[in-house]
Amino acid sequence: MKIARSVSRPVPAGLAPLLAALLLLPLPACSRETAAPRPVSPRGALTSEEQAVISLFEQSSASVAYITTEMVQRGVFGGAEVSQGAGSGFVWDATGHVVTNFHVVKGARRVFVQLDAGRPIEAEVVGGAPEYDLAVLRLASVPRSLRPVPLGSSRDLRIGQTVYAIGNPFGLQRTLTKGLVSALDRELPTANFREVAGVIQTDAAINPGNSGGPLLDSAGRLIGVNSAIRSTSGSSSGIGFAIPVDLVNRVVPSLINRGQAPLPGIGVTPISPDQVARAGISGVVLGAVGRGTPAASAGLQPYNPQTGDLGDIIVAVNGRTVPTLSGFVSELERAGIGATVELTVRRGDKERRVRVKVIDLRG
């Protein structure tokens, strides 16, 4: 067995002084780079467009409400469960009225309104119009700093105008989105086979929680109430709808004063559109005609279940075809209460025209 041994060898005489000098030199310190914040490049002034949008938001956002609701629903096993909902709204006047969508507060046991960064204030529903998807709330305590949203007009809107939506999508308060007026005169189905006519279509992002919030023009004026989106996912896909402000300005005062909105009609009870469609009939089939109504004065005859006679079928209003009940109602809404409309009525193979006054069925 061999054992390895270390063997020391003498340093050559010529290298000894050099090695001695190297041993006396200080060892270099380990180098480490120290990172420092980069200097900030001056931005310069905001563009005039950016400044205008910022000013619009700062002036308008305090008027936008975050609405939460409590509802009692039947549980899975028959018990009562309390559920919560949320939406948006806006200040209508200095006396504490707040406007929102009817579907936001429908069936609510309690309603709370939060303005700007303040505390939630309990509110009561003073009026609702499911036919227009509008409702009015009254604050239990009215802050002194209430700032109503300035009103604009939807009559003179143009496709391509810039619009802004402020609301609380997914509960994220005071969210601003920007878009264009994508189309005008759309129709929005609501309740009782009715549709809101003259609806504004926009590509400003509108998501769940935006319902009831304001749609503003570039001057910060209210031009519509955001009400619905068209999407397969339930989130914004660039197609949103707003109830036009001209209609809102007619309905809201009535909700404040009477608790309900005027309902244009001529005094007929139509047969269910589903039954009419299944029978392959185009137009409005009358199930009944009220005594003393404009329809009765015009001589309109309803369906006779004993003989099977369809009676008078309304097929057009003021020259516009109305293949369904919703189209008929939209035309009456377009004409307005107090107006006289010309109905095209078909009976058998014959058509005739009659003039009928539009009345408030709730009057």
Cβ contacts of 296 within 8 Å, gap of 6 or more: 267, 289, 290
Q: Does the annotation mark 133 as catalytic?
A: yes
Closest C-alpha to 295, from 281, 308, 313: 313
Q: Select which of 88, 97, 103, 217 is catalytic.
A: 103
Strand partners, 346: 313, 351
Query: In whole angstroms, what is the distance from residue 232 CA to residue 212 CA?
Result: 21
SS3 330: helix
CB 96 within 8 A of CB 138: yes
CB 132 within 8 A of CB 102: yes
Q: Does the annotation mark 103 as catalytic?
A: yes
Q: Where are the beta strands (DSSP E) in the chain?
A: 64-74, 80-91, 97-100, 110-115, 121-129, 134-139, 162-167, 175-189, 195-202, 214-217, 222-229, 240-244, 264-265, 268-270, 284-289, 313-317, 320-321, 340-347, 350-357, 359-360
Q: Select which of 88, 211, 227, 330 is catalytic.
A: 211
Query: In whole angstroms, what is the distance from residue 309 CA to residue 348 CA?
Result: 9
Q: Does the annotation mark 211 as catalytic?
A: yes
Cβ contacts of 128 within 8 Å, gap of 6 or more: 102, 105, 106, 134, 135, 136, 255, 259, 260
Q: Select which of 60, 63, 97, 133 is catalytic.
A: 133
Phi first, then psi, for residue 94 (nearest 5°) are -80, -5
Which sequence positions are flagged as catalytic?
103, 133, 211
